[in-house]
Amino acid sequence: MLIGKKMQDAMNEQVKNELYSANLYLAMAIHFENEGLMVFADWFYKQAKEEEEHAMKFIKYITETGGKAIVPEIPKPKNEFNSAEEITQMALEHEMKVTEMINKLVELAKSENDNSALQFLQWFVAEQVEEVANADQLLKIVQRAGEKNLLQAQNFITRGEE
């Protein structure tokens, strides 16, 4: 077995965290869809899918290194939101928290002298830089636009993707 028990358990915990993230972003996407803001909804649906993919990467790594992956119980995310700014601020804060989680896994890999886990986790380190930057940019767009101008903000986001 290449993976140690501590790393296995920590990565199984991260599977739970990634699936929670997926559900949180799904709830956010649904809120925007219910508000008729499909560009924002699509952004969060995409994030939800990415978080599911992250969970699967951890599961695959655990099993490929001889560990036992588990399907965790996932806490229920918040489902009621007051504003686009609240949602985008929460998304940024959540990505910062996930970054801390990944950094703790890196520290565990270093302390366990687990070079394969360390190499595996480098992808997530780079991914979190992108995730935080994207969430920060979305929050700034929403803050600049304000709640009354979210349709214009969607147009701005759409033009930026072309």
pLDDT single digits (tens) 45-74? 999 999 999 999 999 999 999 999 999 999
Residue 161 pLDDT more than 70? Answer: no
pLDDT at 159: 85
> How many distinct structural domains can be found in the chain?
1
Domain membership of residue 91 as a residue range: 5-161
CA distance 101 to 94: 11
CA distance 40 to 62: 34
Residue 94 pLDDT more than 70? Answer: yes
DSSP symbols for 57-79: HHHHHHHHTT--------PPPP-
pLDDT at 102: 98
Neighbours of 127 (CB within 10 A): 16
Write down the mean pLDDT value for the chain: 96
pLDDT at 101: 98
Residue 36 pLDDT more than 80? Answer: yes
CATH code for the domain of 43:
1.20.1260.10
pLDDT at 98: 98
pLDDT at 66: 97
